[in-house]
Amino acid sequence: MKYALVTGGSRGIGKAIALRLAQTGLPVIVNYCSNDEAARQTVAEIETAGGKAELLKFDVSDGEAIEAALEAWETAHPDDYVSVLVNNAGIRRDNLLIFMQNEEWREVVDTPLNGFFFVTRRLLKNMLAHRGGRVINIVSLSGIKGLPGQTNYSAAKAALIGATKALAQEVAKRKVTVNAIAPGFIATDMTKDLDEKELSKLIPAGRFGRPEEVASLAAFLAGDEAAYITGQVIQINGGLHT
């Protein structure tokens, strides 16, 4: 059986993607790091809607923890494999570079970038062996144009964009696609500290996006109709940047 794995899948954009992928009929593995209650709630919502889901707890920046968790999952599912991987986990620690602490740099870079490397490398072999798979990386407008106060976040997401384009070329012949989705301002826990009213004035669409709008694109890229789309970075930002 084919599964989908969504890292950072218990809240925000990750949760919306997990819910949407489950609607397509894929059983979903919801990865999370610390919030047990939110993770259980996400699985409950998927199951209430008629989908299938399970939890897999690990820190995406910890290579050893990832290896142990995925090894255990594969042992428990000998006839199954992850055919859709959504690398969504990420954190913000905004600060001007001159005041930025080592931890603020390290944590923000390690989570999306090392997470992509460790998780994707571990799961890619089965996609290649089965001659089919989808890797979807959630990046950001910040990684495309850069945003002041987010040098760490912009660096991490820009690097992930480069990795997306490179990996797409490595695995295309095995019918594995690799794409990135770059949201602008989306109304989630990660953006709750921002002045939504004022920032919305800068957005041609006049509002923040919804997690479900990002999830719909992820579900399309995960499907058969997107088989000829790879190496692309698709923006969802209400026209804020083109």
Confidence of residue 102 (pLDDT cuts 50, 70, 90): very high
Mean pLDDT score of the chain:
96
Q: To the nearest 10°, the Cα dihedral for 46, 213, 190, 136?
A: 80
Can you list the domains of the chain with their CATH numbers? 2-236 (3.40.50.720)
Model confidence pLDDT, tens digit, residues 7-18: 999 999 999 999
Q: Please compute the mean of the pLDDT values over residues 66-80 and round it to a whole number.
A: 96
Confidence of residue 194 (pLDDT cuts 50, 70, 90): confident
- Residue 195, judged by CB atoms within 10 A of its CB (0-12, 13-18, 19+), counts as exposed
Q: Are 39 and 119 in contact (CB under 8 A)?
A: no
| DSSP H or E run through 238 | none
Please tell me the pTM assigned to this model: 0.95
Residue 28 has pLDDT above 80, yes or no: yes
Coil, strand or helix at 103: helix
Q: Please compute the mean of the pLDDT values over residues 194-207 and round it to a whole number.
A: 92
Confidence of residue 65 (pLDDT cuts 50, 70, 90): very high
pLDDT score of 192: 82
pLDDT score of 38: 94
Cα–Cα distance between 30 and 27 in angstroms, integer? 10
Model confidence pLDDT, tens digit, residues 133-190: 999 999 999 999 999 999 999 999 999 999 999 999 999 999 999 999 999 999 987 7
* CA distances from residue 150 to 62, 92, 100, 228 in whole angstroms, order as listed: 23, 8, 10, 33
Residue 58 has pLDDT above 80, yes or no: yes
Q: What percent of the chain has pLDDT over 70?
A: 100
Confidence of residue 221 (pLDDT cuts 50, 70, 90): very high
Residue 195 has pLDDT above 90, yes or no: no
Q: Which residues are catalytic?
A: 153
Beta bridge partners of 56: 31
Q: How many CB atoms lie within 10 A of CB 193?
A: 9
pLDDT score of 242: 86
Residues in the chain: 242
